[in-house]
Structure 1
């Protein structure tokens, strides 16, 4: 008998307990693809959206924040299944099973949403840098664009990105700690869990933005390439589910709910509306005092910087997937696609307006392009030749995700055109 085998034969279910521990220990060691997506979702746009919503509407939109984590988890796991079961990204799978026309439509849809996000993120990065340095110029975008592209192409960005994520985690920890100091309203929280639809253009925008932070065509499409790059096979589907639930369901859920509740409990009762990044920083004053502004700005800068590089990569994945190029920075065509996204993003800082208010608009606009990719993914995972079809529960959750995101996206568009 092998030494390891003896450990799995303890009485009264000991064998099963140890095997469960070993399995989840293996899962933890293999985490990765969904955590990249989770890091992008936990970016400045989500921070801005939930902070503005909490400060403006109190607890009323808590149900949207919670559903964004639930539906974000659902959408990302469905995307992971496409990457794993098809062995290719979403653009290639769409062309294979639905034809070139649908592949082109999806590519254009994904690319527009992704490059729009890159522009608004670069606008935010330049804005934060201007606030911190006192030197206000849109040409910060040119500087950052060149530096980020060089880092990506030369593979030197990953360590710096790790530092950025540590800073973001610190800011989130501050919001979580502030929760214990804030005067939370139990009645308000219970009321906010029940679905309600505050009227007005701004409310429709904020609800679409909150949902768009987790259910966005850019990160959904990118995740099919992430899991495929890991070379995960159908046997790894439980691992992909664990990866997605822990990142989007737990980490992202904690991030968005904590920031939202702090804003609802600290800013809303005092009538502090969030129109600039400096307004949102006031939510951390109960914990950090005079240091709140400085720490918040550092975290916002880090969140924006660490979100931009995956956004550039996502655009390159979509272009390369449609053109049949190698999806690696060593391929000059792929590197060129990364640089193209970088050039587009440099236009962002020249857009006028508060960058903190533009971030939710970016997510809301991105949500309008998202139902298409969800519908295509559901088709791919239920077609007759699919080796491992969706369960009834997964189809129900996927269908519900499609229904709610479509409703919020259409409502946002109708209010913008004055129809509602």
Structure 2
């Protein structure tokens, strides 16, 4: 069966499922999920891991709510991305260029928020992943330094990013590999907290009741964690993943299901498990401030060699999956920024995939904070522009026709997301520049 026949069968199946009872509908939808997993693995990167690990170590269970509520807030924009994908033939950057300006679409959203941002953030992925590999091999007495083991991360991520978009089967294959990596993360981190133990009462309180420690430090720590979810690049990843699957209005209910069970649930669970592990290990005592030292100290508190290795495999899964997600959205946004089609065989697409691999230098120099601050600064200056443009597109009949947003609460949620997005980056940059301690 060719790609077209497979796609038409999917559409007909979804037409039946959309009117089916809830349990039957959800069961049927499960085999068509995928775009939200592509977004989830992009979110579950070194930044979110480091932020949640630091929060767990510093504040115990108190800030477990951050990943959950930040993703809930982000769902206003994610669902807006699905509305754009299913109700318009235009992708979001092309629509911004047409109905607003190329400064908003090509420059702010395409080049700064998506391409430049993700190229820069790949350094952190390689830095974290190579640390994990070096430590994992050391557990069994094998020397595999960062200067060498970065090749493993490259070989486990680049081929999948390279094949993405080639055809429908390639897209689904990469989506399924992303699902597999998410399952690996959940299993190994569950095993870790099974060993370290869990205070269930504190867990549910910390997960559901928002609290922030007093002082600037608590606020900036929480803000740093929000960055990993409430960002323009994440919205675009989900939007373009749906465009790759050729989502239509028939797919809209599937998109909502996918967003919850492929995005909200796995992101919340993985980051919660990581936070719990560090909360239990460092509760009530002093803790390292460096992510490398945090991970090393956590593993040292785990008596089982298998679970120690499993922890590092989970970190490796985070790194590999994020590299795939960042590379693919970088390529797609780069093409759209220059008004080119989403053609995986084009030179521009290939350049987008290859250029993100510059992050391998993170194995040698770590995360270049000057670059992170510069890019975050640019995003801080312009992210409100892109977010505001999404709000305007959502209410623009020239773009969405009768499918514009009519719900006042929905519009309010979008505006709150945009405001939080801008405040998040401003506070992050000011903190990194030393304006606040």
Q: Same fold (TM over 0.5)?
A: yes
- Measured after TM superposition, the shift of residue 300 of structure 1 is 0.8
Q: Secondary structure at the match of 1:214?
A: coil
For 1:177-196, what aligned pairs fall within 5 Å after superposition?
A: 177=194, 181-183=197-199, 186=202, 189=205, 193-196=209-212
**1:167 — aligned with what?**
184
| Distance in 2 (alpha carbons) for counterparts of 1:366 and 1:74 | 23
For 1:306-325, what aligned pairs fall within 5 Å after superposition?
A: 306-325=321-340
Q: Deviations over 1:47-100 (max 9, x none)?
A: 221111111122343342332121233322222222222223322121011122
Asked whether 1:384 is paired with 2:417, we answer no
**1:8 — aligned with what?**
none
Asked whether 1:300 is paired with 2:302, we answer no
How many residues were matched structurally? Answer: 400
Choose 203-212 or 98-107, whichever is displaced more: 203-212
**2:3 — aligned with what?**
none
The match for 2:428 among 400, 412, 416 is: 412
TM-score computed with the length of structure 1 as normaliser: 0.81
Indicate conservation of the 8 Å contact 2:122/2:359, yes or no. Answer: yes
Indicate conservation of the 8 Å contact 2:186/2:270, yes or no. Answer: no
| Distance in 1 (alpha carbons) for counterparts of 2:303 and 2:377 | 34
Cα 1:112/1:171, change in 2 over 3 Å:
same
| Distance in 2 (alpha carbons) for counterparts of 1:197 and 1:164 | 33
| Distance in 1 (alpha carbons) for counterparts of 2:54 and 2:98 | 42
| Distance in 1 (alpha carbons) for counterparts of 2:264 and 2:156 | 33
**2:145 — aligned with what?**
136
Indicate conservation of the 8 Å contact 1:178/1:262, yes or no. Answer: no
Choose 95-104 or 81-90, whichever is displaced more: 81-90
For 1:241-252, what aligned pairs fall within 5 Å after superposition?
A: 241-252=256-267
The match for 1:220 among 208, 212, 235 is: 235
| Distance in 1 (alpha carbons) for counterparts of 2:240 and 2:25 | 25
| Distance in 2 (alpha carbons) for counterparts of 1:239 and 1:191 | 27
Indicate conservation of the 8 Å contact 2:40/2:267, yes or no. Answer: yes
**2:359 — aligned with what?**
345
The match for 2:117 among 113, 116, 128 is: 113
Indicate conservation of the 8 Å contact 1:80/1:227, yes or no. Answer: yes
- Measured after TM superposition, the shift of residue 107 of structure 1 is 2.1
Indicate conservation of the 8 Å contact 1:43/1:307, yes or no. Answer: yes
**1:37 — aligned with what?**
39
Cα 1:230/1:73, change in 2 over 3 Å:
same
**2:417 — aligned with what?**
401
Cα 1:123/1:404, change in 2 over 3 Å:
same
Indicate conservation of the 8 Å contact 1:210/1:363, yes or no. Answer: no
- Measured after TM superposition, the shift of residue 160 of structure 1 is 6.5
**1:83 — aligned with what?**
85
| Distance in 2 (alpha carbons) for counterparts of 1:293 and 1:147 | 21
TM-score computed with the length of structure 2 as normaliser: 0.78
Asked whether 1:153 is paired with 2:169, we answer no
- Measured after TM superposition, the shift of residue 165 of structure 1 is 4.0
| Distance in 2 (alpha carbons) for counterparts of 1:165 and 1:21 | 23
| Distance in 1 (alpha carbons) for counterparts of 2:124 and 2:279 | 25
